[in-house]
Amino acid sequence: MKANSTVTLIKILALLCLSVLCVSQEFDFFYFVQQWPGSYCDTKQSCCYPTTGKPAADFGIHGLWPNYQDGKYPQNCDSKNPFNPDKFDFGQLYPPVGWSVKQHNFTSLNRQVKIADLRSSMQKNWPTLACPSGNGVGFWTHEWEKHGTCSESVLDQHGYFQAALGLQKQVNLLQALTSAGINPDGRSYSLSNIKSAIQETVGFTPWIECNTDTSGNSQLYQIYLCVDTTGKNLIECPVFPRGKCGSEIEFPSF
């Protein structure tokens, strides 16, 4: 009898553990990463403007990356959920000429239109600068498949891209910098002034990633902010990535 109840207790405990594992997060927080186009281009590898034209001289989204508290991160989590660019293409032709709106299911119509909105906003705010020139789909596919699939329990494909766009709207990095007198003019600025300008405006401490220009100077390449697991709220970073900038870094024009 006693042995039986011990076995039952162990079974219950095992079930409890499993259920905790099942609902537990696949990750602890996101890095929201934006890139300065001038620094992507001002390198040995150089850059190519998207087929849709030269992007604005502003920070563009690189990605929204699920991460663990210990600094490690998951990647390529679900090959069965590939990026679906068709969804992004539909909306522009929608509704087809001659269709009466009454003929169609409203939920589906609203969703298509929402996705169409996302596409133009992504071209503007998440432009690709890699060579050869692309329309963005290659970059977005990479970001969804490598990072987005690792937060799919929280954000579906549409939600993932929408969350990143929403975060970018919340934080105007260029304005934070220029209002502190830090301008993309090819001059060098102190790393600590750059960080405090962002900290004071955005309310959270950023991580700055540098790369090097063709002459080997350290320059402001990417800015990381941390976001909670909903993908909506900025938080202080639980851990910063590794890497080093100089104490004075260049802010190239674009």
DSSP bridge pairs for 248: 190
DSSP state of 221: E
For ligand 5GP, the closer CB: 33 or 118: 33
DSSP state of 103: G
Q: Does 146 bind ligand 5GP (CB under 6 A)?
A: yes
Q: Does 245 bind ligand 5GP (CB under 6 A)?
A: yes
SS3 137: helix
- Which range, of 1-9, 20-28, 139-147, 169-177, touches ligand 5GP by CB under 6 A? 139-147
In the set 208, 225, 234, 237, which binds ligand 5GP (CB under 6 A)?
Answer: 208
In the set 38, 62, 112, 219, which binds ligand 5GP (CB under 6 A)?
Answer: 62
**Residue 250 falls in the annotated catalytic set:** no
Q: Does 40 bind ligand 5GP (CB under 6 A)?
A: yes
Residues 175-194 that bind ligand 5GP (CB under 6 A): 191
**Residue 143 falls in the annotated catalytic set:** yes
191 close to 246: Cβ distance less than 8 angstroms: yes
**Residue 62 falls in the annotated catalytic set:** yes
- Which range, of 2-10, 97-105, 107-115, 206-214, touches ligand 5GP by CB under 6 A? 206-214
From 142, 145, 147, 248, the catalytic residue: 147
- In the chain, where does DSSP find H-type helix? 2-23, 37-41, 85-90, 106-125, 137-146, 157-170, 173-178, 191-202
For ligand 5GP, the closer CB: 145 or 162: 145
**Residue 157 CA: distances (Å) to CA of 3, 118, 150, 154, 161:** 50, 11, 11, 10, 7
Token pair for 204 = 């959270």
Token pair for 39 = 């620094």
In the set 166, 183, 243, 253, which binds ligand 5GP (CB under 6 A)?
Answer: 243
In the set 142, 152, 202, 204, which binds ligand 5GP (CB under 6 A)?
Answer: 142
In the set 88, 161, 189, 207, which binds ligand 5GP (CB under 6 A)?
Answer: 207
Question: Within 13 Å and on the Cβ side, how many CA atoms surround 249?
Answer: 23
Token pair for 251 = 């802010």
Residues 6+ apart with CB under 8 A from 49: 55, 129, 133
Phi/psi-derived region of residue 98, left when phi > 0, alpha when psi is between -120 and 50, beta in every other case:
left
Q: Where do contacts with ligand 5GP occur on this chain (CB under 6 A)?
A: 35, 40, 62-63, 128-130, 139, 142, 146, 191, 195, 207-210, 243-245, 247
Residues tagged active-site: 62, 143, 147
